[in-house]
Structure 1
């Protein structure tokens, strides 16, 4: 197929799916040529063909625009939503604070069930590290961090086919610090940052704290972020960074295909946009084959790969890292100006555990239990809920995503569940629009003991009551009309 025809087909598909709407201005010939790798004449040929077919129109000194009156396919999600000022922290804080009540049955919990952690062995490692710690250790663990720990991390990536030097790795106080430092290294207040829609609420909080603008890009629960919508965002905004999860995304649970990971990296490198890869769930895959990271396809050092031991080993240690590529030194300087360094005793304790304990054996058991518990909970919910509630259960990770009928309000369900001493994570936590107000995220890492079975039965009952109430209300309105 000729190059111009590829561009014609791409733009038709994007217009039909609502990525470009009637009246939208298309990228200029020069800009389209630069980022597509096509010649100016090839792009001009494609635009002229689209114009002759009635898809776009040309205007003197204004370039090309999507023709008025074109019908797009029905979409439930907006392709790209720009938010000038992120303001979500207070709401998320309220939800998280409500979940700290120990009397709650907490399906809104962000971490795996604590009984899955090797607490005894971790405590032994902490004791050993404390006993052996010398004064010089505090200096040896300053940025970029403990050399032995960085070596262990690098070797683990090498086993997955990702070649990383020790100099690229900076140890941080958890993954969130790694992600925040990465954002600071490539943005200034007021810059645009691409995030998934829906996305991890911590990303939204970080954007708010740093005074950044969010570009929420349409994301499918099965296949992940929509590449056409992502390119539309890059074409129409001066994007400085892109924060994405490639494996077992929170909240949807999908894992991007290797081909899509590669395409995303290549696309962002064409537009010279930094990629911040939030990869905290990569150890929680199902089966024997580990998942890859987008960092594997990085040819320019512009991908910053962030992860931690919080989801795979123990949450309370707060040890993460960023494989920072060409920005390693910048991130070290930023860390010295903020937290100074990551806890030296905890870094040493992790070296002790990872050197003398069978971490792989722990991970194997962790993956097996998460798989069993998540599938059991998904099956149980499926038996309780009506067909118009979609229980999204992806391979790996430990989250389930519930999609209620459009028009449902998960916030009402959330508040009613709190009164029943049960916590859930409403979809509003994961987006800056109202697109996911009908959705709920559930933590499925806990064993289904009687109190949890009862809590799920209560949840299903309230969801059904809410849906039926919504349907009655709509029917009443129709009768009144």
Structure 2
């Protein structure tokens, strides 16, 4: 096994032992020399493992003493339970609740823990504004003409080049641009399914995916999902006879923030390909990893063209630009036909500007700062939750992304909590939004994409006090 993969695998095993409680706060880890002897690795590889674990705030170094499991308060908070959705439940969309919560979008008078996007304060607006001006100058007719149906060439070329970071080998011809990530998912579901077909998803799941599937007349099968490793493979295997499509967010999904291990991704791709079931992979959060290495995508294991890889810059760079794309594999002709009918052309100037931004290296610089901020925010959130939320509260432990899943004791109804909180100008996303079944009523999602401040800490404290009074 190559050394870079070996270091990542060993670091992952140690991280898992810390997260599941096998290694407890304050426990001493093996020395660098001992780690070398146990795994047959060199000193540099062993040091890299410890650096990776430090980057995730799981361990700390004490001079003259070695490495220890970090005594962080949040590690005392238990993980949420593995979800157990019913395989036969009737689907009921919580559209009224979703509409109420998302009606707050853009309301500057509220603290929006409910909207899963990075705050504008964390985005490089001045540099993007400059790129828009340059794009207008560079494009033929100032970007007013229609562009080729597959989309902006520069943007597709840059995304193909970046696919190497997650194990992909895409070319610009493999990609089709879209108006954001949801537009890409919409094209994929329309290309693959028809009313009455069944799509398998994680549970809990992003509300927009649920609404989209229901609007297309698809049946939704929610799969049991672990808060750190994603869907349970055994459950997917049992569901195979019932499903026509699978749609997953393998890297840092919302609301759990779970990340499927590499071997799970490979197993899912192999299983679905064997049965001829296409996989739509939503990788919109993949660049927001907290560790030292971007996780691979399911698409990197695709040998049959049945994985449709979708992503966008909506969660990393510019939510309002609506710039997305899909690598649809063997379904490219169907996707292009749908784009021709529903959109004809993408927005030339905006896609050119994003393509330019990606080509200069400024995007990677921005991502490094954003990832560091999100990881720090996560730690600040859970410290505050551990201090002020009711006894028995559980939280997810995302390894990236924008979401933190909070599970209260079952006596607390988060739809009611939403009503109390909104009067205090705090908006949350109640757990019932993330399912079509009657579950997660005692859970909520918090967005960690707001700049940390004393005011954010105060609002979380107030939220905890409101929950305690319920």
* TM score, norm. by length of structure 1: 0.78
Alignment-derived partner of residue 151 in structure 1: 157
Alignment-derived partner of residue 25 in structure 1: none
Matched, 1:184 2:190: yes
Give per-residue Cα distances to partners, 1:202-246, cap 9 Å, x unaligned: 1101112111111111111122111111122213x1x22111000
Q: Secondary structure at the match of 2:140?
A: coil
Query: Cα–Cα, structure 1 residues 85 and 142, in superposed 2: closer, same or farther, change >3 Å?
Result: farther
Contact 1:140 1:146 survives alignment (8 Å): no
C-alpha deviation, 1:139, in angstroms: 5.6
C-alpha deviation, 1:113, in angstroms: 1.6
Contact 1:285 1:395 survives alignment (8 Å): yes
C-alpha deviation, 1:328, in angstroms: 1.0
C-alpha deviation, 1:82, in angstroms: 4.1
Root-mean-square deviation (Å): 1.8
Alignment-derived partner of residue 48 in structure 1: none
Matched, 1:375 2:379: yes
C-alpha deviation, 1:136, in angstroms: 9.0
Query: Cα–Cα, structure 1 residues 100 and 120, in superposed 2: closer, same or farther, change >3 Å?
Result: closer
C-alpha deviation, 1:84, in angstroms: 5.4
Give per-residue Cα distances to partners, 1:347-377, cap 9 Å, x unaligned: 1111222233522111111111111111111
Provide the rounded CA distance (Å) in 2 between the counterparts of 1:80 and 1:170: 36
- Identify the match of residue 107 of structure 1 among 103, 107, 113: 113
Q: Secondary structure at the match of 1:316?
A: helix
Contact 1:402 1:439 survives alignment (8 Å): yes
Alignment-derived partner of residue 122 in structure 1: 128
Query: Cα–Cα, structure 1 residues 82 and 95, in superposed 2: closer, same or farther, change >3 Å?
Result: farther
- Identify the match of residue 166 of structure 2 among 153, 156, 160: 160
Alignment-derived partner of residue 396 in structure 2: 392
Alignment-derived partner of residue 200 in structure 2: 194
C-alpha deviation, 1:79, in angstroms: 5.0
- Identify the match of residue 277 of structure 1 among 275, 281, 293: 281
C-alpha deviation, 1:449, in angstroms: 2.0
Alignment-derived partner of residue 428 in structure 2: 424
Alignment-derived partner of residue 350 in structure 1: 354
Matched, 1:211 2:211: no
Which segments of 5 or more consecutive residues in structure 2 lack a partner in the other structure? 1-80
Instruction: Identify the range of structure 1 (256-265 vs 88-97) with the bigger mean alpha-carbon deviation.
Output: 88-97
Contact 2:257 2:398 survives alignment (8 Å): yes
User: Higher relative contact order at CA 8 Å, sep ≥6: structure 1 or structure 2?
Assistant: 2
Matched, 1:334 2:331: no
Alignment-derived partner of residue 230 in structure 2: 224
Provide the rounded CA distance (Å) in 1 between the counterparts of 2:364 and 2:449: 19
Contact 1:246 1:261 survives alignment (8 Å): yes
Provide the rounded CA distance (Å) in 1 between the counterparts of 2:422 and 2:462: 11
Contact 2:161 2:171 survives alignment (8 Å): no
Provide the rounded CA distance (Å) in 2 between the counterparts of 1:340 and 1:195: 29
Provide the rounded CA distance (Å) in 2 between the counterparts of 1:338 and 1:186: 16
Matched, 1:170 2:180: no
C-alpha deviation, 1:342, in angstroms: 1.2
Give per-residue Cα distances to partners, 1:391-416, cap 9 Å, x unaligned: 22321112111111124311111111
C-alpha deviation, 1:160, in angstroms: 3.0
C-alpha deviation, 1:183, in angstroms: 0.5
Provide the rounded CA distance (Å) in 2 between the counterparts of 1:428 and 1:297: 33
Count of residues in correspondence between the two structures: 390
Q: Which has the larger radius of gyration?
A: 1
Alignment-derived partner of residue 289 in structure 1: 293
